[in-house]
Amino acid sequence: MRTVTLQSPPYAALSIPPAPSSSSFSFRNSTLFFNTCLPQFRASSSASTRFALDASSIQTASTTELDAVSAFSEIVPDTVIFDDFEKFPPTAATVSSSLLLGICGLPDTIFRNAVDMALADSECYGLENTEARLSCFSSKALVNVGGDMAKLVPGRVSTEVDARLAYDTHAIIRKVHDLLKLYNDISIPPQRLLFKIPSTWQGIEAARLLESEGIQTHLTFVYRYLFGVIFLLNALSFEVHIFAQAAAAAQAGASVIQIFVGRLRDWARNHLDDPEIESAQLKGEDPGLALVTKAYNYIHKYGHKSKLMAAAVRNKQDLFSLLGVDYIIAPLKILQSLKESIASPDEKYSFVRKLSPQSAASYVFRDEELVKWDQASLAAAMGPAAVQLLATGLDGHADQAKRVEELLGKIWPPPNV
């Protein structure tokens, strides 16, 4: 079992503007990020889109690999340490059912009072319907913890929307409005908030409507059919790499889009008998890295406002292959290795910006890839990997939400109430 942590990036000394920003907070496998301002980089004139770091930043003995890669992307950790904010001050946060379970399991954490205050809330307390009362407690606890986080971090706080609502657009919107009202009651402005929504069609549509109201959304569980499908057009066949969820999320105007690189790779390894996967392996393609690349190029080439986050990064080579993407969530063991490794010109790995607005502008998409996605076309394009991985993620998060309500029911009322 992993240690419960709340740790900021080990490179917290990096300069981060006080404007709306982001980094990462997580509990176990629940992560978040956010920094709207990325470190500056200097472009070279190479047609291969290789970007050179300033000599002073990479050729000095004191520069670490972490410093070097942070010049291209916002690198953020996937774990954090609860009560050590002075030593490891996080810059942004995520609040989720997973986090609430962790808090309830650690009675001495600084956030436990936020949960106890939720259980003492008179509005929830007075509800006669048990299900409604427990749902109210859970929402209050999420917002109370989120409010405490907002006082501790300069960036945005992302609040998880109940995964059990994933297939009901109006229910998602009502939940976000309810959470937003609770945040307003404790004087947390909407500019400091994001709302984390599963990327079902209903979730994507909810994000579109919420963003039109000025409410910032974070779409998660973005996958695709791993390596593409064959389209038949005028008796001709050709392969199109599908990135339907990511494109639909960008078209909806989601503020942040999260892609799990390693989970797609894991799925591929467990389905080696699939001819599409065999074909892709022969080409040296990695499904997760390919999806991030295509989504990034699409967002930047066609002027969508979304920021892209790569999560479930498994090793340093993954990270190096993603340099230039807006956010990279990396395990602490990778961050520690990067911090301890000195960057030098004869480094084994070349620090190259793999993704950039310039490379995106020259990327060629087929006309068939530039469709306006709707519910029917998205469902047809999802494929087995996206369907299975989305269902697994939703089941896990729905179970956590249910466990939170059951736990709150057992400890209600709290002591001294």
Contact 295, 257 (CB under 8 A): yes
The residues, any chain, with a CB within 8 Å of residue 298's CB and separated by 6 or more, are 243, 246, 247, 250, 304, 360, 365
Whether 196 is catalytic is yes
Grouping H, G, I as helix, E, B as strand and the rest as coil, residue 327 is strand
Provide the angle, in degrees to the nearest 10, between the axes of the packed helices 130-152 and 112-119: 150
| CA 194/CA 182 separation, integer angstroms | 14
Cα torsion angle, 310, 255, 389, 404, sign: positive
Paired tokens of 292:
């991030």
Contact 23, 155 (CB under 8 A): yes
Q: Which of 175, 196, 316, 354 is catalytic?
A: 196
Residue 258: burial class (beta carbons within 10 Å; 0-12, 13-18, 19+)? buried
Paired tokens of 244:
């339907």
Q: Is the peptide bond before 154 cis (omega within 30 degrees of 0)?
A: no
| Active-site annotation, residues | 196
